Amino acid sequence: MIDVIETCENSKGICAVSPSKDVCVLAAPDKTLGAVRVVHYDKGSKLQLIDAHQTAVAAMTLNNDGSILATSSSKVRSHR
């Protein structure tokens, strides 16, 4: 086991991993509702916490090199 990350309730196992062979970035919901924990393992386990949403994180993805994170929340908004 390389690491253990505590998250909020995450029954769907929501997380994102950069697909690049050159960098290793992992994003997962944090223990705080709506926050995302990003760990840069290629940079000595550098940790970043992002206050992303006011409700639970529903989905997330990272781009190839782990420099861009996209998230969505469980609250759906409709704009007209």
Q: What is the pTM of this model?
A: 0.84
pLDDT of residue 75: 78
Name residue 78's amino acid: S
Domain borders along the chain are 1-11+32-43+58-74
Residue 80 pLDDT level (bands cut at 50, 70, 90)? low
pLDDT tens-digit map of 15-62: 999 988 889 999 999 999 999 999 999 888 899 999 999 999 999 999
DSSP state of 6: -
Contacts of 70 (CB under 8 A, 6+ apart): 60, 61, 62
